[in-house]
Structure 1
């Protein structure tokens, strides 16, 4: 059972992850050809550091207009200043917009600011995330890993769907992780009221949710004009594990610098998932090591699970009536979901 299944107690999953860590620096990544994107527009969440920052750098070099969606706007402006240091003309092609994925109010404010720019949306890179935080909750009272890594991006994507669809050949890239193999779907107890909380298991489960969300969105919106993919950037040395505690993070930092990929290397797979001509012909795929297509394990391909997650996610967000109508017009919601979302609106208003 421990060998055949996936989840926290799966020997197979742990061995896969160990192998991935060991080989992260050993695998020779295929060079990614720098594309000329001719003012294509990209939104990147968590773009003030790590993989998000380096992905943004690649898009800036490609000539794209880049929106740095950052929880910390001060760091975002520092990144913009760094990118523009040698070419001041880039200042007109880079925007910094505040976005805190643990707050539905912040997500909604970001979308309003974004729409005020009146730009198309060619690429949406869902990169931001938390790892290893102690048991804590978002502003909307949802466990932090689930709330930020999945639910915040779920809401953001749905509110930007109209813009994505209006732009021909747009693409959503979800930065997931091979750690999803350790994840499980326990939507009856999202907030860990009746089970033991393990921060890394919560992270792994949120990465599983990323993949289930991708599959469900692909099923609900099939179009040649929009594709949705997920990517594992590899085991990357970033600050995402800073919540593990001072000494654990110190040891992680020393070991990671030897065994793990740099953010620059991790960004290559994310950038390729967005712009590589070969990969752009696919939707609903999971990629890694720049150009490698990876079959999903059984825990990420269960249709009932992806539908259950979708409905649960809708129930946790209080959409405004105009947002519900927009989603219905795009045929993303079925009739029961539409009525339930309207009921949630009525309860919120009362």
Structure 2
């Protein structure tokens, strides 16, 4: 594949695209690039004040941008349902959903519904959001669902007997890797289900490589000041896999994209290898059932 950049994004006039975690980092850069190409961008953010500030920054760069703000706290399923209700009341189509938001290596805590924070936010919140928005996506020809995973998924293990870390010592990075593996397994399984239903909606997974926006917040001095800059790229570059997956006409259902440069941590986006554990059909089925049971959201294809 050629060196893919934002110059490759086609005109997006008339397209409606929702980005979670859109007020900062990769989510903001994704929203900005989409707005520059004429898309109506729905910025779904937890903090309304920060979202409003992000909208002001974005429209300063793109004065004609069409931006809608919606409140979304993925750690609260009530907030997820309210967000979807707002989106469905004000839009009759949704061309792209980008499941970008996430938390990384946080100390042990729980979501409003009592789920471990990383699996609850990164996987269950997005599982519920996607399922509730699915009717709108299926009604939009050629729609896409883009799920952000991480290179951490390569080291992840789905502990489906204790996914909440209730009966073992909680380890922040193990929980993070599990949650991002769950994102990837979900994206691949969703692609299978969409194909089986003969829908033209696509499910695509991406990873951003190494990005300081999601590495520094809970890391120490050495990681933040020395290691991270060497192994990461700026947020606008880390957003490229998401943008490719959301807009490029050559992308196919079930594909996985990420940086192709040094250790797959940086560089131009291209096809990425799906780790073996993300193709475990039995585990994917159990994870999906767990999503249904814990969120109460059933997918209708």
Q: Cα deviations across residues 80-123 of structure 1 (Å, max 9, x unaligned)?
A: 11111255433xx1011110001010000000111121241001
TM-score, scaled relative to structure 1: 0.78
Structure 2 CA distance, aligned partners of 1:209 and 1:144?
A: 14
Three-state SS of the structure 1 residue aligned to 2:205 is strand
Three-state SS of the structure 1 residue aligned to 2:64 is helix
Q: Higher helix proportion, which one? A: 1
* Map of 1:3 onto structure 2: none
The reply to whether residue 252 of structure 1 matches residue 226 of structure 2 is no
2:286 paired residue among 308, 311, 314 = 308
Structure 2 CA distance, aligned partners of 1:39 and 1:144?
A: 36
Structure 2 CA distance, aligned partners of 1:275 and 1:46?
A: 19
Q: Work out which of the two has the higher radius of gyration on C-alpha atoms and give 1 or 2.
A: 1
* Map of 1:120 onto structure 2: 93
* C-alpha RMSD over aligned residues: 1.7
* Map of 1:347 onto structure 2: none
Structure 1 CA distance, aligned partners of 2:51 and 2:31?
A: 11
Q: Cα deviations across residues 20-44 of structure 1 (Å, max 9, x unaligned)?
A: xxxxxxxx95434132111200000
* Map of 1:163 onto structure 2: 136
The reply to whether residue 215 of structure 1 matches residue 188 of structure 2 is yes
The reply to whether residue 53 of structure 1 matches residue 28 of structure 2 is yes
Structure 2 CA distance, aligned partners of 1:86 and 1:232?
A: 26
Structure 2 CA distance, aligned partners of 1:158 and 1:259?
A: 35
What residue ranges of structure 2 are gaps of 5+ in the alignment? Answer: 260-267
The reply to whether residue 130 of structure 1 matches residue 130 of structure 2 is no
Three-state SS of the structure 1 residue aligned to 2:146 is strand
* Map of 2:236 onto structure 1: 264
* Map of 2:258 onto structure 1: 288
Deviation at 1:242, TM superposition (A): 1.5
Contact 1:132–1:241 (CA under 8 A) maintained in structure 2: no
* Map of 2:277 onto structure 1: 299
Contact 2:258–2:272 (CA under 8 A) maintained in structure 1: yes
TM-score, scaled relative to structure 2: 0.91
Structure 2 CA distance, aligned partners of 1:123 and 1:138?
A: 26
What residue ranges of structure 1 are gaps of 5+ in the alignment? Answer: 1-27, 332-350
Give the number of aligned pairs.
288
* Map of 2:265 onto structure 1: none
Deviation at 1:219, TM superposition (A): 2.0
Three-state SS of the structure 1 residue aligned to 2:94 is coil
Structure 1 CA distance, aligned partners of 2:125 and 2:104?
A: 15
